[in-house]
Amino acid sequence: MSTTTEKLQKVLARAGMGSRREMEAAIADGRVKVNGQVASLGDRIEARDKVALDDRPVALRAAEEVPRRVIMYNKPEGELCTRKDPEGRRTVFDRLPRLKGERWIAIGRLDINTSGLLLFTTDGELANQLMHPSTQVEREYAVRVMGDVQQAQVTAMVEGVMLDDGPARFTDVQEFGGEGINTWFHVVITEGRNREVRRLWESQGLTVSRLKRVRYGNIFLDKRAKASEWVELSQEEVDDLAELAGVPSRKVPELTPDEKNRWSRDKHKRRPVQAMRKPRSRRS
């Protein structure tokens, strides 16, 4: 970390404590202390400052010291994008490889009924840049829609409609066929607002019966990761994401022998029987 001051939430995210948004919430909740004093949103710190999250010291690091690892996870329906669920339901973090002294940070979210591509990284700055609205990173979804879709409805969603939380639009809509009243489309958005894809179709009186994210930026969901499985991205893929986010490229660290063994065990450990059941499909 340089001798200049930096925003507290940025430093915490870079240290792998969570996304910048999560760290802003932690600061607002009074969970962060700087030099023994409860921090406030807007605080800036230097390398010499002592920072604690939930009364646990945080090791501050310069940007170039943060290991940048990225994994792709194929989320099934029925999993939550949260670290812990009070009701004991499965979360996307349950199947990820364990880290020592770091945390996986989710790049975006998917709701419980949406499946597909999720990216996780150890680099909070990379995560923040890829999620920030100003970066305009494309997210592509495969969507099964119930109803008779008219061209006027597609045109309206591309030109833009007003939702409860502001205007929204698809930058692209392509039809992929289907059977009966169900038709598959691929759509692209450049935001990560809550249920935005579903709400855009609902604005036209249409219902989304299946939703799967198939691309985030330049990373496509592929056969390397089946449902409930993850795969570590290559140096080239991570560098492509860094270029898209506008952050410097950095070498992906080699796994230590201990990490290789631990990650291998995590990848092949058996899931609880109840977690292997497929979620019930909705009736048309």
- The 3-class SS string of the chain reads CCCCCEEHHHHHHHCCCCCHHHHHHHHHCCCEEECCEECCCCCEECCCCCEEECCEECCCCCHHHCCCCEEEEEECCCCECCCCCCCCCCEHHHHCCCCCCCCCEEECCCCCCCEEEEEEECCHHHHHHHHCHHHCCCEEEEEEEECCCCHHHHHHHHHCEEECCEEECCCEEEEEEEECCEEEEEEEECCCCCCHHHHHHHCCCCEEEEEEEEEECCEECCCCCCCCCEEECCHHHHHHHHHHHCCCCCCCCCCCHHHHHHHHHHHHCCCCHHHHCCCCCCCC
Is residue 1 a contact partner of residue 44, using CB atoms and an 8 Å limit? no
Residues with catalytic roles = 111
